[in-house]
Amino acid sequence: MSHPLHHLLFFFLLLPFSTVAQTNGMVDFGSSITASVNASTPWLSPSQDFAFGFKRLEDNNLFLLSIWYYKIPDQTIVWYANKGIPVSTGSKVEITADKGLVLTDPRGQELWNSNPDLNQVAYGFMNDTGNFMLVGGGSVDVWQSFKDPTDTLLPTQIMEYGGVLFSRQTQKNFSRGRFQLRLLYDGNLVLNTRDLDTNFAYDAYYWSNTYDADNVTNRGYQVIFNETGYMYVLTGSNQRKVLAPGIVLPSGDYYHRATLDFDGVFTQYYHPKTENGNWTVFWSEPDNICVGIVGKEGRGACGYNSICTINDNKRPDCSCPLGFSLLDQSDKYGDCKPNFTQSCEDYDKSSSGDLYDLSVLIDTDWPMSDYEQLEHMSEERCRNSCLQDCFCAVAILRNYTCWKKKLPLSNGRNDSAVNGKAFMKFRKSNPPPQPTDPCFSPPDIKKNDRTLILVGSVLLSISLFVNVVLTGAFCLVFFLIYQKKILKNRDGPSAAETNLRCFTYEELAEAADGFKDELGRGSFGIVYEGVLQMGNSRNSVAVKKLDWLVQVKDREKEFRTEVNVIGQTHHKNLVRLVGFCNEGEHRMLVYEFMSNGMLASFLFGEMKPSWNQRSKIALGIARGLLYLHEECSIQIIHCDIKPQNILLDDYYNARISDFGLAKLLMINQSQTNTGIRGTRGYVAPEWFRSKPVTAKVDVYSFGVLLLEIITCRKHLGELETGQEDRAILTDWVYECFLKDRLDALVEDDSEALNDSRNVQRFLMVGIWCIQEDPSQRPTMRKVTQMLEGVVEVAVPPSPSQFSFLS
Ligand SMILES: *[C@@H]1O[C@H](CO)[C@@H](O)[C@H](O)[C@H]1NC(C)=O
Ligand SMILES: *[C@@H]1O[C@H](CO)[C@@H](O)[C@H](O)[C@H]1NC(C)=O
Ligand SMILES: *[C@@H]1O[C@H](CO)[C@@H](O)[C@H](O)[C@H]1NC(C)=O
Ligand SMILES: *[C@@H]1O[C@H](CO)[C@@H](O)[C@H](O)[C@H]1NC(C)=O
Ligand SMILES: *[C@@H]1O[C@H](CO)[C@@H](O)[C@H](O)[C@H]1NC(C)=O
Ligand SMILES: *[C@@H]1O[C@H](CO)[C@@H](O)[C@H](O)[C@H]1NC(C)=O
Ligand SMILES: *[C@@H]1O[C@H](CO)[C@@H](O)[C@H](O)[C@H]1NC(C)=O
Ligand SMILES: *[C@@H]1O[C@H](CO)[C@@H](O)[C@H](O)[C@H]1NC(C)=O
Ligand SMILES: *[C@@H]1O[C@H](CO)[C@@H](O)[C@H](O)[C@H]1NC(C)=O
């Protein structure tokens, strides 16, 4: 607390000076300047080389309390108060006796003060050196702008150890930026980046090498910018480590300054004192900031994900790679943000190529962002490895080593020393055509306008013989595929991938080994076994070549519809379509591999599967059908439910397969003129009569299948064995049901016998499903509920009570 008398004393002492304050550089205490467009007359140095006051910024309503070159057109700012934060019109700076310079906002709130040493301030003085000084009683300096530097050092200025320069944020934003010049206590003058929040200093990218570990006296302790424009570090033993050799222009004719520029380059400039001329670079450090910053933390010279290229003036140019853009449009030296998010949640290795692409950058690297190093890699393998990896943002290939890198990328540089290529992932603007997903779009379609989609795989042939042949070929195909237990695709069926991978013919030709290993042939095309490289794993797939489609008019449209409708279904009881090929004449479908083959082989094989397993499978099929019938916005009717078309995955989950291998039809529900589809024995009777075809045809087929699952007998299988009474499974089952002969149905299956209540329920559901009158059959929802035991099952009537056949 200062005594009021002191103020008064100083006031009288200084009174004579006040009239000449503007001409000799002296400013009385009590003087002030108010920031305003008109009246901000600065305090000038005697020579008028420098001015102190409010410098109007480009944004006309903002002012920076600063010191600048007054005489040259480019009124370069060399010092600023308030950590570079500008103030608004009406703000005021005043010299007070106790706090020195005090900056207040228009309401009088103090924003900053120069906090002088414990001494009363008598007056201020704008020195011709560019140093604004506060002088106390007895001509003692109590504060100097030179001792509180910002981003610039001027001749005669000395930085003691512990001293710091901060770069600006940007050329025009004077807030403290990311770069620092510090004279460390160990004697080194260093440049480093820092963390903006806590000011934590990251690794240095320039050292003056004025550190001596063994001899304290040899350490640097001052950075001196002398009158003639030399800058050196002075050591305790009076050694001068000159930072830049070479001639220096006479200080009488030239202004000199050394500024830690906003881009992190510490630069000494000179400028002729005549008003014309430019600031010319005399020297700068470091030589190449793009490659100079190597610390693990921090951004590097440019922002995150940015690429730094050093230009001819040794300044960094920053640019965002393809697919990235500036986070702050006004700061091109700042961070770049990707225009997509790459989430592992829905990242499908197999279809990543449809969504993402790689741009190639020559001699570009982000050396601090590695997470994988792969040796002996070709360009192709390096590219694919990144493309199929949901973590990978970019891969760098140098001398057959492939480094995978993750976001955010730091220390990006474009430099010939990199001597490698970068493959940078970006998301394509036009992902492959994604029609409305039938299963995830809002179910606002009314029942009446539901599009009926008929899906079948094998046309019911007129003669039984052809049918048997077809079915046989079909079974053979799957038998061959699924007997081969190679690597399995363990992708969970519930994975919500919505994007099919579009394969090229070449890719599938390679996957299927040139289509040499033909596994089988049917009316629908040829099936090949294939192995696809997906990321680091090799996955077995079934590749179906739909050659027959070539003859279909409008096949393009139909193929697309099929792929889109079936490909976008997601249910754990459906086989997943991995992708397709639609190239020229080629139409192919790629399915995930089902390791446990067909339900037909499982059910009718040597070993009778357990009742528990069978009931689980039946329920799975019912749920899959329910999904197709009711849980998609358009109804999908499979039309060919039979044990050959149910596959079993690794965990013996039932997976309905074989969608759209044959013609896909879209008709109105009212239309009836559809050729018979399905397989004899499983085909609902209405197919034979001009009756509307509805989802109930699948219910019928499911009923037959359910009875087969209960009994482990083929519906039409016993024709050859001579067991006439059991030849038509459905008739025999109903007979047994009427006679209450469950034991005959399941034979010596003790597990089933012990669970007779459930077996009975399943049986009744099966009989309900095979009712001749479609309206009598329950919906798949009802079926599922009955199988689950959620609703009671009534005693079913005879399947053929209405005697439609006559
Ligand atoms: C600044 O000067 C202009 C004319 O030179 C005048 O119109 C304006 O009112 C002045 N503004 C202030 C705040 O004095
Ligand atoms: C101005 O600065 C020079 C160099 O540091 C110094 O010699 C001189 O005394 C200063 N002038 C005043 C009035 O303090
Ligand atoms: C300068 O940058 C800082 C930090 O980004 C920001 O908060 C401030 O508003 C900027 N100042 C101006 C005048 O744009
Ligand atoms: C340190 O260095 C100075 C000057 O080089 C030398 O005079 C002095 O003897 C040295 N001291 C030690 C302890 O080596
Ligand atoms: C400035 O430093 C340089 C290098 O040490 C020296 O040659 C020159 O004489 C110095 N100038 C002044 C005015 O001290
Ligand atoms: C400043 O430098 C540029 C290019 O170096 C030059 O074109 C321009 O004429 C110079 N300006 C002055 C005032 O000398
Ligand atoms: C992302 O940027 C790339 C490159 O500029 C562009 O091709 C692509 O369309 C953009 N993607 C999105 C989703 O905007
Ligand atoms: C590439 O790597 C091999 C093995 O590490 C090394 O012998 C060779 O010198 C390297 N070549 C280049 C150009 O770096
Ligand atoms: C890398 O530098 C070269 C030469 O300066 C330039 O042509 C190229 O565009 C730069 N690449 C990137 C990605 O900045």
Ligand 5 near 250 CB (within 6 A): no
Ligand 3 atom at minimum distance from 86 CA: 13
Top-confidence range, 142-156, 504-518, 783-797: 142-156
pLDDT attached to residue 418? 92
Query: Over 50: is that where the pLDDT of 435 sits?
Result: no
Query: Which pLDDT value is given to residue 147?
Result: 94
The pLDDT value given to residue 633: 66
pLDDT in tens, 90-115: 999 999 988 899 999 999 999 999 98
109 domain-assigned? yes
Using a 6 Å cutoff on CB, does residue 175 contact ligand 3? yes
In the numeric block, which tokens belong to residue 468? 């048997």
Q: Let me know if residue 566 belongs to a domain.
A: yes
Output the domain CATH number for residue 392.
3.50.4.10
Neighbours of 557 (CB within 10 A): 12
The predicted model gives 612-631 an average pLDDT of 90
pLDDT digits (tens, 9 = 90+) for 212-223: 878 888 899 999
Percent of the chain whose predicted confidence (pLDDT) is above 70 = 79
45 CB contacts (<8 Å, ≥6 apart)?
A: 25, 51, 70, 126, 127, 128, 130
The pLDDT assigned to 720 comes to 58
Q: Give, as one character, the DSSP assignment of residue 15.
A: G
554 is annotated as an active-site residue: no
Ligand 4 pocket test target in 237, 238, 241 with most atoms within 8 Å of CB:
237
* Residue 802: predicted pLDDT: 54
Q: What is the pLDDT of residues 463-505, one digit of tens each?
A: 444 444 444 444 344 434 443 333 233 332 222 334 678 888 8
Give the residues surrounding ligand 7 with Cβ less than 6 Å away. Answer: 322-323, 339-340, 426-427, 429
For 393-404, what is each residue's pLDDT tens digit?
A: 999 999 999 999
Residue 227 Cα: closest atom of ligand 5: 13
Residue 298 lies in a domain: no
Q: What are phi and psi of 48, to 5 degrees?
A: 65, 20
Residues 562, 705 share a domain: no
Query: Is 212 in the same domain as 314?
Result: no
Whether pLDDT at 762 is above 90: yes
Q: Do 628 and 706 share a domain, yes or no?
A: yes
Tell me whether residue 291 is in a domain: no
Q: What is the pLDDT of residue 804?
A: 43
Question: Does the CB atom of residue 364 touch ligand 9 within 6 A?
Answer: yes
Residues in the chain, overall count: 806
Whole-angstrom distance, CA of residue 744 vs CA of residue 356: 59
| pLDDT confidence band for 607 (50 / 70 / 90) | confident
Cis amide linkage into residue 799, ω under 30° from 0: no
Residue 47 beta carbon below 6 angstroms from any ligand 2 atom: no
- Of the three residues 106, 122, 148, the one that is the final residue of a domain is 148
- For residue 129 and ligand 2, the question of a CB distance below 6 A is answered with yes
User: How many A from CA of 551 to the centre of ligand 4?
Assistant: 96
Q: Residue 500, Cα to own-chain centre: how many angstroms?
A: 19
Greater confidence (625 vs 352) lies with 625
Query: Does 292 fall in a domain?
Result: no
Distances (CA, A) of 269 to 52, 280, 377: 21, 5, 48
Least confident of 139-148, 313-322, 676-685, 738-747: 676-685
Q: How far is the CA of 414 from the centre of ligand 9 (A)?
A: 6
Task: Give the Å distance between the CA of 230 and the centre of ligand 5.
Answer: 6
Query: Which residue, 408, 579, 416, is CA-closest to 491?
Result: 579
Q: Looking at the structure, do residues 65 and 24 belong to the same domain, yes or no?
A: yes
Query: Are residue 142 and residue 170 in the same domain, yes or no?
Result: no
Phi and psi for 408 in degrees, rounded to 5? Answer: -75, 145
CATH code, domain with 501: 3.30.200.20
- Per-residue pLDDT band for 561 (boundaries 50, 70, 90) equals low
pLDDT at 550 over 60: no
State if residue 169 touches ligand 3 by the CB under 6 angstroms criterion: yes
Of 230-234, 408-412, 475-479, 687-691, give the lowest mean pLDDT range.
475-479
Q: Please tell me the number of the ligand nearest to residue 427's CA.
A: 7
Q: Is the pLDDT of residue 636 over 80?
A: yes
Q: How far is the CA of 38 from the centre of ligand 1 (A)?
A: 6
**Dihedral sign for Cα atoms in the order 68, 69, 71, 73:** negative
Q: Tell me the CATH number at 42.
A: 2.90.10.10
Residue nearest to ligand 1 atom 14, measured at CA: 38
Ligand 1 atom 5 nearest Cα: 38
State the Cα torsion 32-60-149-171 to the nearest 10°: -170
pLDDT tens digit sequence for 14-43: 333 333 345 588 898 889 999 998 767 899
Instruction: Tell me the two tokens of residue 513.
Output: 């080994």
Centre of ligand 2 to C-alpha 33, Å, is 23
Q: Closest Cα to atom 7, ligand 4: which residue? A: 237
Whether 730 and 612 map to the same domain: the answer is yes
The gap from C-alpha 736 to its chain's centroid, in whole angstroms, comes to 61
pTM as predicted: 0.59
Closest Cα to atom 2, ligand 2: which residue?
127
Q: Which residue has the tokens 């002398």?
A: 226
Which pLDDT tens digit goes with each residue over 173-198? 999 999 999 999 889 999 999 999 99
Per-residue pLDDT tens digits for 111-129: 999 987 667 888 999 999 9
- 332 C-alpha vs ligand 2 centroid, how far in Å? 41
Q: Is the pLDDT score of 593 beyond 70? A: yes
Model pLDDT, residue 450: 39
Which pLDDT belongs to residue 484? 37
The protein residue whose alpha carbon is closest to atom 1 in ligand 9 is 414
Q: With bands split at pLDDT 50, 70 and 90, how would you rate the model's confidence at 721? A: low
Q: Which of 335, 365, 640, 698 is catalytic?
A: 640
Q: Are 255 and 386 in a shared domain?
A: no
Please, which pLDDT band fits residue 681 given cuts at 50, 70 and 90?
confident
- Atom number of ligand 6 nearest to Cα 73: 13
Q: Average pLDDT in the 313-329 region?
A: 94
Domain end call among 94, 124, 148? 148
Q: Which ligand is nearest to the CA of 242?
A: 5
CA distance to 10, 143, 308, per residue, from 13 (Å): 5, 20, 58
- Do the domain assignments include residue 585? yes
Quote the mean pLDDT of the chain: 81
Sign of CA pseudo-dihedral 181, 185, 189, 190: negative
Confidence of residue 140 (pLDDT cuts 50, 70, 90): confident
Q: Looking at the CA of 227, which ligand is closest?
A: 5
Residue 449 is predicted with a pLDDT of: 37
307 CA from centroid of ligand 6 (Å): 29
Nearest CA, atom 9, ligand 2: 127
pLDDT at residue 718, as a whole number: 61
Highest-pLDDT range among 687-701, 740-754, 755-769: 755-769
The pLDDT, as a whole number, for residue 482 is 40
Q: Give the closest residue (by CA) to ligand 1 atom 3.
A: 38
Which residue's C-alpha comes closest to atom 7 of ligand 3? 175
Give me the domain span that covers residue 104.
5-148
- Domain finish residue from 394, 427, 460: 427
Say if CB 506 and CB 585 are below 8 A apart.
Answer: no
Ligand 1 neighbour 38 (Cβ under 6 A): yes
Work out the average pLDDT over 512-537.
73
What ligand 2 atom has the least distance to the C-alpha of 128? Answer: 1
> Distance, CA 136 to ligand 2 centroid (Å)?
14
Is 610:536 a contact under the CB 8 Å cutoff?
no
Query: Residues 121, 186: one domain?
Result: no
279 CA to centre of ligand 6 in angstroms: 9
Phi-psi region of 597 (alpha: psi -120 to 50; beta: other; left: phi over 0): left
Residue 450 beta carbon below 6 angstroms from any ligand 5 atom: no
Whether residue 301 lies inside any domain: the answer is no
Are 452 and 574 members of one domain?
no
Number of domains in the chain: 6
Same domain for 668 and 699: yes
Distance CA 341, CA 338 (A): 7
172 and 186 inside one domain: yes
**Per-residue pLDDT at 551:** 56
Q: Give me the pLDDT at residue 719, please.
A: 61
Whole-number pLDDT of residue 472: 46
More confident residue, 586 or 42: 42
Q: Are residues 740 and 718 in the same domain?
A: yes
SS3 state of residue 312: coil
pLDDT for 662: 46
Helix axes 729-738, 756-769, angle to 10 degrees: 130
Residue 299 placed within a domain = no
Q: Which residues of 633-670 are buried (b: 16+ CB within 10 A; e: fewer)?
A: bbbbbbbbbbbbbbbbbeebbbbbbbbbbbbbbeeebe
pLDDT of residue 460: 37
Q: How confident is the model at residue 675 (pLDDT cuts 50, 70, 90)?
A: low
